[in-house]
Amino acid sequence: MEETFPDAMVPTGPDSEFRTRLPDPKDSHVLAAAVRSRADMIVTLNHKHFPPAILKPYGIRTIGPDEFVQDLIGLFPEAAIETARLHRERLKHPPMDRRQYLNALRNSGLKGTAEVLSQRGSSI
């Protein structure tokens, strides 16, 4: 990730200003990084730990991984499909054919992503 997205690393420094605001103070570094990087979303399955009322003043919202990946496919369909194909082909333990790969995505909670890829990506 660091090699592909070098700008994604955000030094957070002290995040004490966010500890008292979040339901779980252990998540304060996530909000601190999002604010410092001017992110508009936090990708998480744990929406309860990032209440909209706390995120809204920073212009941040939460989004689930499945919705996030579907958005990426919609924005960059060719690149996303090629990335999924390369990912599937690099799986060795166990290797997966297209059907198995899409089922693995479904089983890991990326049901919508699997559906979009099955409709758009016959070359996966």
Is 15 within 8 Å of 28 (Cβ atoms)?
A: yes
Longest dimension (CA), the chain: 48
What pLDDT, in 10s, does the model give residues 65-87? 999 999 999 999 999 999 999 99
What pLDDT, in 10s, does the model give residues 15-53? 666 666 789 988 988 898 898 888 999 999 999 999 999
- The Cα 101–Cα 62 span in angstroms is 27
